[in-house]
Amino acid sequence: MKINKKAALHNLGCKVNAYETEAMQQILENAGYEIVPFTEYADVYVVNTCSVTNMADRKSRQMLHKAKKMNPDAIVVGAGCYVQTKEAEALLDDTVDIVIGNNKKHELLSMLEAYENDHGKCGNVIDINHEKQEYEEMFLERTAEHTRAFIKVQDGCNQFCSYCIIPYTRGRVRSRRPEDVEEEVKILAEEGYKEIVLTGIHLTSYGIDFKDEGIDFLTLIKRLHAIDGIERIRFGSLEPRVITETFAEELSKLPKICPHFHLSLQSGCDDTLKRMNRHYTCEECAERCAILRKYFENPAITTDVIVGFPGETDADFETTREFLEKVHFYEMHVFPYSRRAGTRADRMPDQVPEPVKKERSAVLLKLEKKMSGEYRESFLGTEQEILLEEPVTIDGEVCMTGYTKEYVKAAVRLDGRDPKMLKNTFVRGTLKEFLTEEIMLLS
């Protein structure tokens, strides 16, 4: 069914938000809308907003205003975390016609219909913090990425880290029924997807609401592992505490699990971790990394680090730097601490000046470059398999690139083959040399 209307969507924020943007896009497509890029003229614009920092709020507002500028007669929908926390502000904003909070995005179509019938501004934002929420079922039949599908399996967070607003934007932990995840993954596998990445707001909490039924994260993983066509399973961010001997041992028996683990460490200094309200010590984190290295051969362990958290002294930072070097992470996402009004960290004394944060970021990025290089080098001469994703021109020659299970990027020469035919296929070979700092040659 075609309805002769165009819709454009824009996502801000995390992978979970991106999943929901794609799900909203499919709701609109199935209703007959033609989806156009966000930079083009459309009848409906949907901005799935983020509120993780003050800056994210500002960007969300900017995108909403940009949409209205492109077509003043368009219906502009503000969805997600920014409008969840700033509902009143969004409702007062002339550029926003419909406000949809979290856990209500599946109602996009009925909200659009209601708006068109009454032509009055409308909002649907629930008190996500005080009402118990069920998991909001949204469904993907395909994704924008062609080889790797991100699957949302969990929502909400009960952790209340002192710098984070997300528990207030997303509410408490709720998990997606394993049979619903299975159904989605089966459809994606039939569509040809070979790799899935399980994501959530606090993935480690998966299943805490299914305890009575004996369903936990491992149960879900095993069920997805059994699906034909899926060859690789990765995870989004995990808390170090989830890596127990049993968990790692069980995972290591599942050949589709990629030995690529992203542990959200945030700091390598216990005092800072305490102020962040993270519930582990550096020592514990190091132990968990050792467990991973016991059960997987040379696994990729990656992490997130916040630098310049309130009260972080030069000595604290040095402790973090030493710790990161000792554990030896493959990749680190380094974030200078960014304030978010309404969080405890925002009210803490001893905020670190921006130039100091910048300096500390630069130190860690340099360390990351060194550690990444060393990790990649450890694969030189080894036999690996990569899943081919996209063509890239290196030194004037078009090659096809992909990733090993450890997420090391490698390329194969085309030798007259059509890149389109190679896409989403596996190739095996030996990692021979570096074509660029980050891409190795597989032949």
**Stretch 200-219: interaction string toward ligand F3S, x if CB under 6 A:** -x------------------
Q: How far is the CB of 50 from ligand F3S (least distance, A)?
A: 3
Q: Does 60 bind ligand F3S (CB under 6 A)?
A: no
* End-to-end CA separation in angstroms for the chain: 48
Selected from 7, 8, 9, 14, the binder of ligand F3S by CB under 6 A is 14
Number of chain residues interacting with ligand F3S (CB under 6 A): 14
Helix, strand, coil percentages for the chain (3-state, nearest 5): 40, 25, 40
Q: How far is the CB of 133 from ligand F3S (least distance, A)?
A: 14
Q: Whole-angstrom Cα distance, residue 9 to residue 38?
A: 6
Selected from 7, 8, 17, 302, the binder of ligand F3S by CB under 6 A is 17
Torsion sign across C-alpha atoms 106, 110, 116, 119 = negative
Counting other chains too, the contacts that 58-61 makes at CB distance below 8 Å and 24 or more residues apart are: 59/12, 60/12, 61/93
Q: Does 197 bind ligand F3S (CB under 6 A)?
A: no
Q: How far is the CB of 241 from ligand F3S (least distance, A)?
A: 21
Three-state secondary structure readout of 52-75: CCHHHHHHHHHHHHHHHHHCCCCE
Q: How far is the CB of 182 from ligand F3S (least distance, A)?
A: 24
CA angle 354, 356, 357 (to 5 degrees): 65
| Segment interacting with ligand F3S, rule: CB under 6 A, options 13-21, 89-97, 299-307, 394-402 | 13-21
| Segment interacting with ligand F3S, rule: CB under 6 A, options 48-56, 69-77, 115-123, 124-132 | 48-56
CA distances from 334 to 325, 326, 331, 372 (A): 14, 17, 9, 14
Q: Does 345 bind ligand F3S (CB under 6 A)?
A: no
Which single residue brings its beta carbon nearest to ligand F3S? 13
Torsion sign across C-alpha atoms 290, 291, 292, 296 = positive
Q: Does 63 bind ligand F3S (CB under 6 A)?
A: no
Q: Does 13 bind ligand F3S (CB under 6 A)?
A: yes
Q: How far is the CB of 147 from ligand F3S (least distance, A)?
A: 23
- CB–CB of 331/368 below 8 Å? yes
Show contacts with ligand F3S in window 151-190 (CB under 6 A). 166, 169-170
Q: How far is the CB of 190 from ligand F3S (least distance, A)?
A: 29
Torsion sign across C-alpha atoms 273, 274, 275, 276 = positive
Q: How far is the CB of 52 from ligand F3S (least distance, A)?
A: 4
The number of residues in the chain equals: 443
Closest CA to 258 of 291, 287, 286, 236: 236
Residue 170 or 256: the one with the smaller Cβ distance to ligand F3S is: 170
Q: Which residue has the tokens 């794609």?
A: 22
Q: Does 285 bind ligand F3S (CB under 6 A)?
A: no
Closest CA to 153 of 183, 189, 126, 124: 183
Selected from 23, 24, 44, 50, the binder of ligand F3S by CB under 6 A is 50
Selected from 52, 67, 196, 386, the binder of ligand F3S by CB under 6 A is 52
Helix (H, G, I), strand (E, B) or coil at 442: strand
Burial (CB < 10 A; 0-12, 13-18, 19+), residue 185, is: buried
Residue 343 or 384: the one with the smaller Cβ distance to ligand F3S is: 343
| Segment interacting with ligand F3S, rule: CB under 6 A, options 1-9, 51-59, 274-282, 290-298 | 51-59
Q: Does 51 bind ligand F3S (CB under 6 A)?
A: yes
Interaction site with ligand F3S (CB under 6 A): 13-14, 16-17, 50-52, 56, 80-81, 166, 169-170, 201
